[in-house]
Chain A
Amino acid sequence: ETGVTQSPTHLIKTRGQQVTLRCSSQSGHNTVSWYQQALGQGPQFIFQYYREEENGRGNFPPRFSGLQFPNYSSELNVNALELDDSALYLCASSLEGVRSYEQYFGPGTRLTVT
Protein backbone atom coordinates (compact mmCIF):
# COMPACT_ATOMS: atom_id res chain seq x y z
CA GLU A 1 0.00 0.00 0.00
CA THR A 2 1.50 3.33 -1.08
CA GLY A 3 1.28 6.20 1.39
CA VAL A 4 0.44 9.84 0.70
CA THR A 5 3.25 11.73 -0.99
CA GLN A 6 3.69 15.46 -1.57
CA SER A 7 6.02 17.55 -3.66
CA PRO A 8 8.03 19.61 -3.34
CA THR A 9 9.24 19.24 0.23
CA HIS A 10 10.28 22.86 0.57
CA LEU A 11 9.62 25.92 -1.54
CA ILE A 12 10.62 29.56 -1.36
CA LYS A 13 8.57 32.10 -3.29
CA THR A 14 8.32 35.87 -3.50
CA ARG A 15 5.23 37.85 -2.58
CA GLY A 16 2.88 38.14 -5.56
CA GLN A 17 4.05 34.94 -7.23
CA GLN A 18 1.99 31.82 -7.83
CA VAL A 19 2.68 28.31 -6.54
CA THR A 20 1.44 24.79 -7.28
CA LEU A 21 1.75 22.02 -4.72
CA ARG A 22 1.15 18.37 -5.56
CA CYS A 23 -0.20 15.38 -3.69
CA SER A 24 -0.60 11.70 -4.48
CA SER A 25 -3.28 9.99 -2.44
CA GLN A 26 -2.99 6.68 -0.66
CA SER A 27 -3.91 3.81 -2.92
CA GLY A 28 -7.67 3.27 -2.99
CA HIS A 29 -8.58 6.63 -1.44
CA ASN A 30 -10.92 8.83 -3.49
CA THR A 31 -11.10 11.89 -1.25
CA VAL A 32 -8.34 14.41 -0.67
CA SER A 33 -8.28 17.34 1.73
CA TRP A 34 -5.80 20.19 1.92
CA TYR A 35 -4.77 21.94 5.10
CA GLN A 36 -2.62 24.91 6.02
CA GLN A 37 -0.66 24.60 9.24
CA ALA A 38 1.06 27.65 10.66
CA LEU A 39 3.85 27.13 13.17
CA GLY A 40 2.46 26.06 16.54
CA GLN A 41 -1.11 25.80 15.26
CA GLY A 42 -3.43 23.03 14.23
CA PRO A 43 -4.12 22.24 10.57
CA GLN A 44 -6.69 24.61 9.05
CA PHE A 45 -9.03 23.10 6.47
CA ILE A 46 -8.67 24.68 3.02
CA PHE A 47 -10.87 22.46 0.85
CA GLN A 48 -11.71 18.89 -0.02
CA TYR A 49 -12.07 17.10 -3.35
CA TYR A 50 -14.13 14.02 -4.01
CA ARG A 51 -14.24 12.40 -7.44
CA GLU A 52 -12.67 15.50 -9.03
CA GLU A 53 -15.22 17.93 -7.60
CA GLU A 54 -14.69 20.43 -4.79
CA ASN A 55 -16.66 19.07 -1.86
CA GLY A 56 -16.40 21.76 0.77
CA ARG A 57 -14.23 24.75 1.49
CA GLY A 58 -12.87 26.46 4.58
CA ASN A 59 -12.35 30.17 5.17
CA PHE A 60 -9.74 30.72 2.48
CA PRO A 61 -9.95 33.29 -0.34
CA PRO A 62 -10.52 32.30 -3.98
CA ARG A 63 -6.82 32.69 -4.76
CA PHE A 64 -6.51 29.26 -3.14
CA SER A 65 -7.76 26.75 -5.70
CA GLY A 66 -7.35 23.07 -6.38
CA LEU A 67 -7.76 20.18 -8.72
CA GLN A 68 -8.22 16.46 -8.35
CA PHE A 69 -7.32 14.17 -11.23
CA PRO A 70 -8.91 10.85 -12.30
CA ASN A 71 -6.13 8.94 -10.54
CA TYR A 72 -7.08 10.86 -7.34
CA SER A 73 -3.85 12.85 -7.25
CA SER A 74 -4.37 16.50 -6.46
CA GLU A 75 -2.95 20.00 -6.76
CA LEU A 76 -3.21 23.08 -4.60
CA ASN A 77 -2.66 26.38 -6.38
CA VAL A 78 -2.13 29.68 -4.61
CA ASN A 79 -2.08 32.91 -6.60
CA ALA A 80 -0.80 36.33 -5.57
CA LEU A 81 1.19 34.94 -2.65
CA GLU A 82 1.22 36.92 0.58
CA LEU A 83 3.70 36.76 3.44
CA ASP A 84 1.02 35.17 5.66
CA ASP A 85 0.79 32.23 3.26
CA SER A 86 4.07 30.97 4.69
CA ALA A 87 3.13 27.68 6.34
CA LEU A 88 3.22 23.90 6.08
CA TYR A 89 0.69 22.67 3.54
CA LEU A 90 -0.64 19.20 4.20
CA CYS A 91 -2.76 16.99 2.05
CA ALA A 92 -4.66 14.06 3.46
CA SER A 93 -6.49 11.27 1.71
CA SER A 94 -9.40 9.24 2.98
CA LEU A 95 -12.29 7.09 1.93
CA GLU A 96 -15.64 8.84 1.69
CA GLY A 97 -18.41 7.85 4.01
CA VAL A 98 -18.17 6.17 7.36
CA ARG A 99 -14.38 6.15 7.65
CA SER A 100 -13.83 9.72 6.41
CA TYR A 101 -12.71 10.64 9.94
CA GLU A 102 -9.51 8.63 9.41
CA GLN A 103 -7.31 10.75 7.21
CA TYR A 104 -3.85 9.79 6.04
CA PHE A 105 -1.55 12.78 5.85
CA GLY A 106 1.39 13.38 3.59
CA PRO A 107 4.67 14.81 4.93
CA GLY A 108 3.72 18.31 3.79
CA THR A 109 5.25 21.09 1.74
CA ARG A 110 6.94 23.87 3.68
CA LEU A 111 6.23 27.12 1.81
CA THR A 112 8.14 30.27 2.64
CA VAL A 113 7.02 33.56 1.09
CA THR A 114 9.53 36.41 1.20
Chain B
Amino acid sequence: GQSLEQPSEVTAVEGAIVQINCTYQTSGFYGLSWYQQHDGGAPTFLSYNALDGLEETGRFSSFLSRSDSYGYLLLQELQMKDSASYFCAVRDNTDKLIFGTGTRLQVFP
Protein backbone atom coordinates (compact mmCIF):
# COMPACT_ATOMS: atom_id res chain seq x y z
CA GLY B 1 0.00 0.00 0.00
CA GLN B 2 0.89 3.65 -0.14
CA SER B 3 0.90 5.95 2.85
CA LEU B 4 2.17 9.36 3.81
CA GLU B 5 2.21 10.31 7.48
CA GLN B 6 2.08 13.88 8.76
CA PRO B 7 1.21 15.36 12.15
CA SER B 8 -2.43 16.37 12.17
CA GLU B 9 -1.91 19.77 13.76
CA VAL B 10 0.89 22.18 14.65
CA THR B 11 0.62 25.49 16.49
CA ALA B 12 3.13 28.35 16.68
CA VAL B 13 3.33 32.08 17.26
CA GLU B 14 4.09 34.83 14.79
CA GLY B 15 7.77 35.16 14.00
CA ALA B 16 8.58 31.62 15.08
CA ILE B 17 9.92 28.71 13.04
CA VAL B 18 7.93 25.53 12.53
CA GLN B 19 8.80 22.20 10.94
CA ILE B 20 6.21 19.87 9.43
CA ASN B 21 7.42 16.30 8.96
CA CYS B 22 6.36 13.76 6.38
CA THR B 23 7.25 10.08 6.20
CA TYR B 24 6.18 8.08 3.20
CA GLN B 25 5.83 4.54 2.01
CA THR B 26 4.96 4.29 -1.67
CA SER B 27 5.35 1.81 -4.49
CA GLY B 28 7.60 4.20 -6.39
CA PHE B 29 9.22 7.56 -5.81
CA TYR B 30 10.29 10.37 -8.07
CA GLY B 31 10.07 13.23 -5.62
CA LEU B 32 8.27 14.97 -2.75
CA SER B 33 6.11 18.05 -3.18
CA TRP B 34 4.53 20.38 -0.65
CA TYR B 35 1.23 22.17 -1.08
CA GLN B 36 -0.55 24.80 1.00
CA GLN B 37 -4.32 24.99 1.27
CA HIS B 38 -6.24 27.73 3.05
CA ASP B 39 -9.74 26.96 4.32
CA GLY B 40 -12.12 27.01 1.38
CA GLY B 41 -9.28 27.43 -1.09
CA ALA B 42 -7.41 25.33 -3.62
CA PRO B 43 -4.06 23.69 -2.89
CA THR B 44 -1.15 25.77 -4.13
CA PHE B 45 2.30 24.44 -4.93
CA LEU B 46 5.10 25.39 -2.53
CA SER B 47 8.17 23.28 -3.28
CA TYR B 48 9.57 20.07 -4.69
CA ASN B 49 12.53 17.84 -3.82
CA ALA B 50 13.72 15.14 -6.17
CA LEU B 51 17.16 14.78 -4.62
CA ASP B 52 18.37 14.61 -1.02
CA GLY B 53 19.00 17.89 0.68
CA LEU B 54 17.47 21.25 1.35
CA GLU B 55 15.61 23.48 -1.11
CA GLU B 56 15.00 27.08 -0.05
CA THR B 57 12.31 29.37 -1.43
CA GLY B 58 12.05 32.57 0.57
CA ARG B 59 10.68 31.89 4.05
CA PHE B 60 9.93 28.27 3.15
CA SER B 61 12.46 25.44 2.89
CA SER B 62 11.93 21.77 2.16
CA PHE B 63 14.19 18.84 2.95
CA LEU B 64 14.33 15.28 1.65
CA SER B 65 16.12 12.14 2.75
CA ARG B 66 15.29 9.36 0.32
CA SER B 67 17.14 6.72 2.34
CA ASP B 68 14.89 7.51 5.34
CA SER B 69 11.72 8.03 3.25
CA TYR B 70 11.39 11.30 5.09
CA GLY B 71 11.00 14.95 4.34
CA TYR B 72 10.00 18.15 6.06
CA LEU B 73 8.76 21.62 5.33
CA LEU B 74 10.32 24.43 7.33
CA LEU B 75 8.47 27.71 7.67
CA GLN B 76 10.41 30.66 9.07
CA GLU B 77 9.31 34.08 10.31
CA LEU B 78 5.77 32.82 10.62
CA GLN B 79 2.97 35.20 9.70
CA MET B 80 -0.73 34.98 10.48
CA LYS B 81 -1.42 34.35 6.79
CA ASP B 82 0.58 31.10 7.04
CA SER B 83 -2.31 29.55 8.98
CA ALA B 84 -3.45 26.84 6.59
CA SER B 85 -3.24 23.11 5.91
CA TYR B 86 -0.01 21.78 4.47
CA PHE B 87 0.19 18.57 2.45
CA CYS B 88 3.17 16.55 1.38
CA ALA B 89 2.70 14.62 -1.85
CA VAL B 90 4.81 11.92 -3.42
CA ARG B 91 5.28 11.84 -7.17
CA ASP B 92 5.26 8.11 -7.76
CA ASN B 93 6.78 6.06 -10.57
CA THR B 94 3.65 6.46 -12.68
CA ASP B 95 4.05 10.24 -12.43
CA LYS B 96 0.99 10.67 -10.21
CA LEU B 97 0.74 12.69 -6.99
CA ILE B 98 -0.20 10.82 -3.82
CA PHE B 99 -1.14 13.25 -1.04
CA GLY B 100 -0.71 12.91 2.68
CA THR B 101 -3.47 13.54 5.19
CA GLY B 102 -2.34 17.10 5.82
CA THR B 103 -1.10 19.17 8.75
CA ARG B 104 -3.18 22.04 10.02
CA LEU B 105 -0.95 24.93 11.06
CA GLN B 106 -2.36 27.57 13.39
CA VAL B 107 -0.31 30.72 13.90
CA PHE B 108 -1.14 32.83 16.93
CA PRO B 109 -0.25 36.49 17.52
- A residues with CB within 8 A of B: 4, 33, 35, 40-45, 48, 56, 58, 90, 92, 96, 100-108
Q: Choose one: A35, A41, A56, A90; the contact of B94 (CB below 8 Å).
A: A56
Interface residues of B in 58-109 (CB under 8 A from A): 87, 89, 91, 94-102
Please report the C-alpha to C-alpha distance between residue A90 and residue B43 in the assembled complex, in whole angstroms: 9
Determine the interface band of chain B, counting residues with CB < 8 A from chain A: 20 to 34
Residues of A within 8 A of B19 (CB): none
- B residues with CB within 8 A of A: 4, 30-31, 33, 41-45, 48, 50, 87, 89, 91, 94-102
Check A101 against B91 for contact (C-beta < 8 Å). yes
Q: Choose one: B42, B94, B100; the contact of A42 (CB below 8 Å).
A: B100
Check B99 against A101 for contact (C-beta < 8 Å). no
Residues of A within 8 A of B102 (CB): 40-42
Nearest chain B residue, comparing its CB with the CB of A97: B95
Residues of A within 8 A of B96 (CB): 33, 45, 48, 56, 58
Q: Choose one: A41, A101, A106, A108; the contact of B97 (CB below 8 Å).
A: A101
Q: Given A33-B97, A41-B101, A100-B95, are A107 and B45 also a contact pair (CB < 8 Å)? A: no
